[in-house]
Amino acid sequence: MNTAIVTGANTGLGFECARALAETHDWHVVLACRSAEKGREAVKRLFAQTAYKDIEAMTLDLASLESVRSFARDYAAARRPPLRAIVCNAATQIVTGRTYNADGIETTFAVNHLGHFMLVNLMLSQMTPPARIVVVSSGTHDPAQTTGMPPPVYRRARFLARPDEDSKPLDDPQGTAGRRAYTTSKLCNVLFTYELERRLRVEKAAGSNGRLITVNAFDPGLMPGTGLARDYGRVARFAWRFVLPVLRPFVPNVNSVARSGKALAKMVTEPRFERISGKYFQGAREVPSSKDSYDPAMAADLWESSAAMVKLTPDETILKLRSAPSAA
């Protein structure tokens, strides 16, 4: 028996991934959810649907740095089977106006990237190798795939966190600004994946007991019907929930939530992924990510800026906080 943590697991892709893990009867599944009540309700639904009881909910608000630290402390305080998987799934998309969390960080960047960055770093020392980390991104991180969405724009991580400090802001309308914040956060997911893989490789080469922790990015495809469009207008929400699902058989990389959830769970469970790291998957298929996602300078800026924003200290992570050398 091993433990897997799935963020945002009370609904949508995270719930379906957790269900697929529970159906194997081989995993202790931790549903990391912003709402404690919704987490408990999700556990009850999984109990009823899978007849599997080795599931628990823990409170994790990725928009709050204190909540992420509390989650790591609470996890360490209880005994569980070895932690061998973290699925960074939770995400938000805000189009009705720019919002900030209690730490003064733009909410989309805080939830989709920064909270997961901090969570993974805090949990690395609690993972038992061989272990896997899967970061859920999106095809919208790639300008070649952003049909209907504005392409990501990454200049400096600090401007993503605090866009009001950018002296040369993009002249985006309100709705476009929110959607671009989402696509750029999805680029951050891939940059984070590749930089984490580089730093884990350096840490392993330094002789840390042959530690093997892999990390890969995952594109679930377009999943009409999920709650990701809840901040859109009425017409767009209707199309997302009722029209686009009908087109699923005719449009490439449009999937049901259940199908993508099973594919995501396989990234954790299938032996063929055991030694694959630093790759980008569209479902079960390895594909190239965007050109910018392979930029080591961009990835290093994101990593070091993120570490500074969350005030990560050397004793909180097994990784070096300074820049890691780029892959050859």
The predicted-structure confidence for 296-309, as pLDDT tens digits, reads as follows 999 999 999 999 99
Lowest mean pLDDT among 231-240, 279-288, 303-312: 231-240
Q: Is the bond leading into 288 cis (omega within 30 degrees of zero)? A: no
Q: Of 182, 194, 232, 280, which one is the catalytic site residue? A: 182
Lowest mean pLDDT among 79-88, 161-170, 307-316: 161-170
Those residues whose C-beta lies under 8 Å from the C-beta of residue 321, and which sit 6 or more positions away, are: 304, 307, 312, 314
Q: Has 182 been annotated as catalytic? A: yes
User: Mean pLDDT, to the nearest integer, of 101-105?
Assistant: 94
Whether this prediction's pTM lies above 0.95 is answered by: no
User: Mean pLDDT, to the nearest integer, of 112-130?
Assistant: 97
Length reported for the chain: 328
CA 129, CA 43: separation in Å to the nearest integer?
27
Structure tokens at 231: 């901040």
Q: Is the pLDDT of residue 112 over 50?
A: yes
Structure tokens at 180: 């671009």
Q: What is the pLDDT of residue 230?
A: 52
Q: What is the pLDDT of residues 38-70, one digit of tens each?
A: 999 999 999 999 999 999 999 999 999 999 999
Structure tokens at 96: 């009705």
Backbone angles phi, psi at 62, to 5 degrees: -70, -15
For domain 2-220+255-316, the question of CATH label 3.40.50.720 is answered with yes
Q: Can you give the residue ranges of every domain in the chain?
A: 2-220+255-316
Residue 136 exposed, middle or buried by CB count within 10 Å (0-12, 13-18, 19+): buried
